[in-house]
């Protein structure tokens, strides 16, 4: 519709008209856009299944073609330690800001096939939804990015540089991405990263994920006597490693739900008053939540509500415990050993390596001399937070508002997405998580889908992001 | 040798001469005594193995014959719910005291046969030991009782009534004995029970077992959310059943090693000052004990030493614990359930049923409302104590002293022998545990044996018991 920056300038303060034109562009091009998206979806790029090895390359090549068609200056399929990466760029001005858009072209396996109402790799539009594996995660969401980029390029509205990086191993742990980023720091150099691979609270509650928790994980082994003992002959005279392990674990958490390991909270930021107010605005039915878990009462750190506890505060959980006799009936034994797998969810600024060592040192220090305690660290990952005053975050917020008619709520998620923390660590760049998923989109499950309405609004939102990001 | 009470009276205060005569009797009759014992041992009365079913009856019949030869008035093989019982008696005076001697004619399996230096069911005397399955447990020890009885009967020294009861299921849990005792209370009526089926501290340290601990056992189940949860999405906001179980367990035992369940010690007797002195006399090398377990420090109730902790004090041990992910690697999960098997060793006067309920009530009371806690009782058993001022105990003590030249140490054992507590409960009679076993006798193992020297001294000690018991 618009074909020059000049025309854009004329309408810049007439948002209503611009949005009308965006909507019209999407409508007029929808058939083509869906055809393009479906061509991606038809390639079963299942990274977990070796029989789809050739499909990975085919899918990467198709992405390269589609990005060139969308308006990038150059695009290439680049080798990595695993599946290839798709890199593309549109450089408008070396002095301008650069946006790096990340997505992934691999999908989860579609099994069990018999539960699908239509073929997982033959997308259809039914009841206003696109039905297919990857309709949301992440072909559908990544394509929202590609088509919003197309709009701003074709209409001469792009004032910042845009780079794309698409990987093919996200569903199997992004094993090659870290090394690729290390190797290509210059190529991937950017001011901010934009990702559409997360979900919103609901279709009526647009939201932006502003934080993810980090993770530290350990296995703890407590050794008492050098062999299992008869509990009659030795009970009461020798420390029982299970009893000791229970005490070590119990002592970590206070009655107030706080973790009592000295120094544990040193790098935990207090929740800004502004964010606490935003949390209050998130509709949350605590009675429904308890009913869904079938628990009478919740437990967590005193002074914080459930959303704050999972989003802004660290946790300490035993993920597994075992020792002694666990079969049918009873055996009177003092076992030689007891084990537990323990983990902490961490919040941004808590370094998982520092916490890992802190916890190891703590257990070694408090372990009684009646037993031997060994704590082995397992994997870990950094938490991530996107400051809500980051210009790109605010651009995303306004983009959402324009498309959905509501200001999106900033939401901290309790889980971890290691690559986001890795981007920050390796590339030194913040990521804005501008995801359009819905719980009902059934990602990773049969009948994955994407409502067409959300798909269109997503493109609108990202177009507006680009326009706002330049302000 | 002696053949009338009159002759005994002449020598009664000339102990030295009497003991000389006892030794001479044993020596002169040893070949016959061993022949008789060996005839019992040759019958492979292995209660755990169905193929030896006929041997059980044969062994019971042989015992009947041997008891008749030893001087009982009557003997019979009586049916029970399982293997038959051997009952015999010598009633000298309805008004006199009655002693009930208990033993068992069944033995443990002899496997692995290849580790035996001579045939397990073909007894031989080698290096001054009898080698065979049952040489100690309990054919050898029971036969000490039979031959001591023979001596006092044949020499007209018996002034009290003697009854024998021999069962054939001790090695498989004495399943039929309780009901038999219930059914034949009148037949088994007695003033005290004498048993040779325990061991001494060592050949140089004769001892008498004066106490056994009772037992209570439970399984505890803690249920948190109704399904396993993602530790990222829920960690810190929902009570983790493993964390809760650890706290429930940890809270039971104080830093002082005492069990903090209210009322738990209500029926625990303080150790009499006299017994504490006797405990001090038991040679015990704590450094060697720790080295054998490979522990740097011991743990138990403050104010008591290791022997007191296992013999005189109750204990609380987790025998097994499990929940969550226990495989290789790591899984970030908050499990729905966690379990533990817990047990207490109890001391005499602590009723296992009362303690069982006390512990169940305690856990139900302290369980937080964030989880559901269920405590299921498993089996239990009463403890047992033989007062050291019991006349029969003192007779056993003096009997030992005459035979071994040393006053035996009273020793409380930490384990449990349910039948001894059952005798007290059903028959209302105390038991004196006058055992002559040694650790090196290898009961339940290949190359079970009994030193001939101990066998002879055992007979001497029991003969003296009979004489002392009448005083």
Q: What angle do CA A402, A407, A413 make, to 5 degrees?
A: 125
DSSP-based three-state secondary structure for A202: strand
Taking alpha carbons only, the member of B434, B425, B427, B358 closest to residue B394 is B434
For residues B445-461, average pLDDT: 96
Contact between A156 and A34 under an 8 Å Cβ cutoff? The reply is no
Paired tokens of A363: 């257990």
CB-nearest partner of A293 from B238, B295, B318: B238
Q: For chain B, what percentages of helix, strand and coil (3-state, to nearest 5) are there?
A: 40, 20, 40
Paired tokens of A459: 């493109």
* Residue A216 CB coordination number (10 Å): 28
Which pLDDT score, from 0 to 100, does residue A5 have? 43
B376 and A CB contact within 8 Å? no
Task: Using the predicted structure, report yes or no on whether residue B6 has a pLDDT greater than 80.
Answer: no
Task: Using the predicted structure, report yes or no on whether residue B7 has a pLDDT greater than 50.
Answer: no
Helix (H) or strand (E) holding B321: strand B315-324
Query: Mean pLDDT across chain B, nearest whole number?
Result: 93
For residues A159-174, average pLDDT: 94
Task: Using the predicted structure, report yes or no on whether residue B420 has a pLDDT greater than 60.
Answer: yes
List CB contacts (< 8 A) between B415 and chain A.
Answer: 230, 232-233
Nearest chain A residue to B368, by CA: A297
pLDDT level of residue A3 (50, 70, 90 thresholds): very low
Residue with tokens 């040489």: B135
Report residue A223: phi and psi, to 5°: -110, 125
CB contact under 8 A, A297 and B224: no
Q: How far is CA B46 from CA B79, B123, B169, B443, in A?
A: 18, 16, 9, 14
Contact between B459 and B151 under an 8 Å Cβ cutoff? The reply is yes
Decide the pairing of beta strands B85-90 and B74-78.
antiparallel
What residues pair up with A193 in beta bridges, in sequence order? A100, A431
Q: Which of residues 218-247 of A touch B (CB under 8 A)?
A: 219, 224-226, 229-240, 242-243, 245-247
CB contact under 8 A, A329 and B371: no
Q: Which of B173, B246, B302, B316 would best serve as a mutation to test chain A binding (most A beta carbons within 10 A)?
A: B246
List CB contacts (< 8 A) between B301 and chain A.
Answer: 236
Distance from CA of B213 to the nearest CA of A (A): 7
For chain A, helix (H) and strand (E) counts, in that order, are: 14, 18
Per-domain residue ranges of chain B: 12-212+383-469, 214-268+314-381
For residues B301-307, average pLDDT: 96
CB contact under 8 A, A330 and B340: no
Taking alpha carbons only, the member of A205, A202, A174 closest to residue A406 is A205
Task: Using the predicted structure, report yes or no on whether residue A213 has a pLDDT greater than 80.
Answer: yes
What residues pair up with A166 in beta bridges, in sequence order? A86, A103
pLDDT level of residue A272 (50, 70, 90 thresholds): confident
CB-nearest partner of B246 from A250, A314, A335: A250
Task: Using the predicted structure, report yes or no on whether residue A209 has a pLDDT greater than 90.
Answer: yes
pLDDT level of residue A11 (50, 70, 90 thresholds): very low
Query: Mean pLDDT across chain A, nearest whole number?
Result: 93
pLDDT digits (tens, 9 = 90+) for B333-356: 899 999 999 999 999 889 999 999
Structure-derived torsion over alpha carbons of residues A437, A439, A441, A444, reported in degrees to the nearest 10: 100
pLDDT level of residue A7 (50, 70, 90 thresholds): very low
Task: Using the predicted structure, report yes or no on whether residue A2 has a pLDDT greater than 70.
Answer: no
Tell me how far apart the alpha carbons of residues B282 and A376 are, in angstroms, rounded to a whole number: 43
Q: Which residues contact A295 (CB under 8 A, 6 or more apart)?
A: B224, B225, B226, B238, B239, B370, B371
B221 included as an active-site residue: no
Paired tokens of B156: 């007209």
For residues A432-446, average pLDDT: 91
Of these ranges, A149-163, A228-242, B162-176, the one predicted with the greatest mean pLDDT is A149-163
CB contact under 8 A, A246 and B246: yes
Polymer length in residues for chain B = 471
Taking alpha carbons only, the member of A401, A437, A420 closest to residue A100 is A420
3-state secondary structure B89-114: EECCCCCCCEEEEEEECCECCCCCHH
Contact between A293 and B226 under an 8 Å Cβ cutoff? The reply is yes
Contact between B99 and B465 under an 8 Å Cβ cutoff? The reply is no
Taking alpha carbons only, the member of B469, B274, B470 closest to residue B387 is B274
Q: How far is CA B277 from CA A70, B272, B314, B409, B411, in A?
A: 95, 9, 20, 11, 12
List CB contacts (< 8 A) between A370 and chain B.
Answer: 295-299
Q: Is the peptide bond before B138 cis (omega within 30 degrees of 0)?
A: yes
What residues pair up with B76 in beta bridges, in sequence order? B87
Task: Using the predicted structure, report yes or no on whether residue B275 has a pLDDT greater than 80.
Answer: yes
Residue with tokens 């001054």: B128
Contacts by B130-134, CB closer than 8 A, 24 or more apart = B130/B34, B130/B37, B130/B449, B130/B450, B130/B452, B130/B455, B131/B447, B131/B448, B131/B449, B132/B38, B132/B41, B132/B448, B132/B449, B133/B41, B133/B44, B133/B107, B133/B108, B133/B448, B134/B40, B134/B41, B134/B45, B134/B107, B134/B448
Average the pLDDT over each of A270-279, B1-10, B309-318 and give the range with the smallest value.
B1-10
Q: Which residues contact B386 (CB under 8 A, 6 or more apart)?
A: B208, B209, B210, B211, B393, B430, B431, B432, B433
Q: Which residues contact A278 (CB under 8 A, 6 or more apart)?
A: A388, A409, A410
Which pLDDT score, from 0 to 100, does residue B10 have? 47
Contact between A464 and A399 under an 8 Å Cβ cutoff? The reply is yes
Q: Which residues contact B87 (CB under 8 A, 6 or more apart)?
A: B75, B76, B78, B163, B164, B165, B184, B187
For residues A266-293, average pLDDT: 91
Of these ranges, A275-284, B24-33, B104-113, the one predicted with the greatest mean pLDDT is B24-33
Tell me how far apart the alpha carbons of residues B447 and B111 are, in angstroms, rounded to a whole number: 11
A385 or B62: which leads in pLDDT: B62
Paired tokens of B468: 């002392």
For residues B365-377, average pLDDT: 98
For residues A407-432, average pLDDT: 91
pLDDT level of residue A418 (50, 70, 90 thresholds): confident
- What is the distance between the terminal CA atoms of chain B, rounded to a whole angstrom? 22
CB-nearest partner of A322 from B257, B326, B345: B326
pLDDT digits (tens, 9 = 90+) for B213-264: 999 999 999 999 998 888 888 999 999 999 999 999 999 999 999 999 999 9
CB contact under 8 A, A319 and B321: no
Say how many CB pairs under 8 Å bridge A and B: 282
B416 and A CB contact within 8 Å? yes
pLDDT level of residue A386 (50, 70, 90 thresholds): very high
Which pLDDT score, from 0 to 100, does residue B15 have? 59
For residues B410-433, average pLDDT: 90
Tell me how far apart the alpha carbons of residues B43 and B62 are, in angstroms, rounded to a whole number: 9
Task: Using the predicted structure, report yes or no on whether residue B176 has a pLDDT greater than 80.
Answer: yes
Tell me how far apart the alpha carbons of residues B242 and B370 are, in angstroms, rounded to a whole number: 12
**Domain A12-212+383-469 annotated CATH 3.40.630.10:** yes
For residues A21-29, average pLDDT: 96
Report residue A126: phi and psi, to 5°: -145, 130
Contact between B141 and B457 under an 8 Å Cβ cutoff? The reply is no
B361 included as an active-site residue: no
Render A297-355 in DSSP notation, one character per residue.
Answer: S----TT--HHHHHHTS-EEEEEEEEEE--SSS---EE-SEEEEEEEEEE-TT--HHHH
pLDDT digits (tens, 9 = 90+) for B380-409: 888 999 999 999 999 999 999 999 999 999
Q: Which of B225, B227, B233, B235 would best serve as a mutation to test chain A binding (most A beta carbons within 10 A)?
A: B235
Distance from CA of A200 to the nearest CA of B (A): 15
The CATH fold of domain A214-268+314-381: Alpha-Beta Plaits (3.30.70)
pLDDT digits (tens, 9 = 90+) for A192-207: 999 999 999 888 889 9
Contact between B334 and B226 under an 8 Å Cβ cutoff? The reply is no
Decide the pairing of beta strands B192-195 and A74-78.
unpaired
pLDDT digits (tens, 9 = 90+) for B152-162: 999 999 999 99
Paired tokens of B180: 């038999």
Q: Which of residues 291-330 of B touch A (CB under 8 A)?
A: 293-301, 306, 309-310, 313-326, 329-330
CB-nearest partner of A321 from B225, B242, B415: B242
Which pLDDT score, from 0 to 100, does residue A230 have? 85
Task: Using the predicted structure, report yes or no on whether residue A329 has a pLDDT greater than 50.
Answer: yes
Task: Using the predicted structure, report yes or no on whether residue A428 has a pLDDT greater than 50.
Answer: yes
CB-nearest partner of A326 from B236, B243, B320: B320
pLDDT digits (tens, 9 = 90+) for B40-54: 999 999 998 999 999
Domain pair B12-212+383-469 / B214-268+314-381, same fold? no
Distance from CA of A29 to the nearest CA of B (A): 39
What residues pair up with B259 in beta bridges, in sequence order? B253
Which pLDDT score, from 0 to 100, does residue B379 have? 78
CB contact under 8 A, B321 and A317: no
Q: Which residues of A are catalytic?
A: 106, 170
Paired tokens of B438: 């040694």
Which pLDDT score, from 0 to 100, does residue A413 have? 87
For chain B, helix (H) and strand (E) counts, in that order, are: 14, 18
Which pLDDT score, from 0 to 100, does residue B137 have? 94
For residues B312-321, average pLDDT: 97
Task: Using the predicted structure, report yes or no on whether residue B2 has a pLDDT greater than 50.
Answer: no
Which pLDDT score, from 0 to 100, does residue A14 have? 55
Nearest chain A residue to B338, by CA: A321
CB contact under 8 A, B294 and A243: no
Paired tokens of A177: 């991405």
Average the pLDDT over each of A225-234, A413-422, B72-81 and give the range with the smallest value.
A413-422
pLDDT digits (tens, 9 = 90+) for A69-90: 999 999 999 999 999 999 999 9
């Amino acid at each position: 519709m618009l074909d020059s920056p000049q025309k854009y300038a004329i309408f810049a303060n007439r948002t209503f008209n611009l949005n009308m034109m965006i909507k019209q562009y999407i409508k007029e091009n929808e058939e083509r856009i869906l055809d393009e998206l479906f061509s991606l979806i038809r390639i079963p790029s299942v990274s977990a299944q070796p029989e789809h090895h050739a499909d990975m390359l085919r899918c990467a090549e198709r992405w390269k073609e589609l990005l060139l068609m969308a308006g990038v200056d150059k695009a290439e399929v680049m080798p990595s330690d695993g599946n290839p990466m798709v890199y593309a760029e549109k450089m408008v001005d070396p002095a301008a800001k650069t946006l790096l858009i990340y997505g992934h072209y691999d999908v989860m396996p579609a099994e069990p096939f018999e539960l699908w109402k239509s073929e997982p790799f033959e997308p259809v539009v039914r009841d206003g939804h696109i039905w297919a594996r990857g309709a949301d995660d992440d072909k559908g969401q990544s394509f929202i990015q590609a088509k919003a980029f197309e709009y701003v390029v074709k209409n001469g509205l792009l004032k910042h540089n845009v780079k794309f990086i698409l990987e093919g191993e996200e569903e199997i742990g992004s094993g090659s991405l870290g090394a690729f980023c290390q190797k290509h720091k210059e190529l991937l150099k950017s001011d901010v990263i934009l990702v559409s691979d997360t979900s919103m609270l609901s279709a009526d509650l647009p939201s932006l994920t502003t934080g993810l928790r980090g993770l530290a994980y350990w296995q703890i082994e407590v050794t008492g006597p050098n062999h299992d003992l008869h509990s009659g002959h030795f009970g009461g005279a020798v420390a029982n490693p299970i009893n000791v392990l229970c005490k070590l674990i119990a002592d970590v958490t206070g009655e107030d739900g706080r973790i009592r390991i000295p120094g544990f909270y040193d790098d935990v930021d207090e929740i800004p008053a502004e964010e606490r107010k935003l949390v209050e605005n998130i509709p949350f039915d605590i009675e429904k939540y308890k009913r869904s878990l079938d628990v009478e009462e919740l437990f967590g750190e005193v002074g914080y509500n459930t959303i704050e506890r999972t989003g802004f505060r660290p946790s300490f959980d035993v993920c597994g415990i075992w020792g002694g006799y666990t079969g049918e009936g009873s055996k009177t034994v003092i076992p030689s050993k007891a084990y537990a797998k323990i983990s902490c969810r961490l919040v941004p600024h808590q370094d998982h390596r520092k916490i890992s060592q802190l916890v190891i040192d703590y257990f070694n220090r408090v372990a009684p001399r009646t037993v031997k305690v060994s704590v082995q660290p397992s994997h870990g990952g950094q938490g991530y937070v996107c400051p809500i005053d980051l210009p790109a975050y605010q651009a995303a917020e306004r983009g959402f508002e324009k498309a959905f008619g509501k200001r999106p709520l900033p939401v901290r998620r309790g889980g971890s997405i290691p690559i986001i923390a890795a981007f920050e660590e390796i590339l030194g760049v913040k990521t804005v998580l501008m995801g359009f998923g819905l719980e009902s989109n059934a990602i990773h499950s049969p009948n994955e889908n994407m409502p067409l309405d959300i798909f269109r609004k997503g493109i609108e939102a990202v177009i507006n992001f680009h326009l706002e990001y330049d302000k």
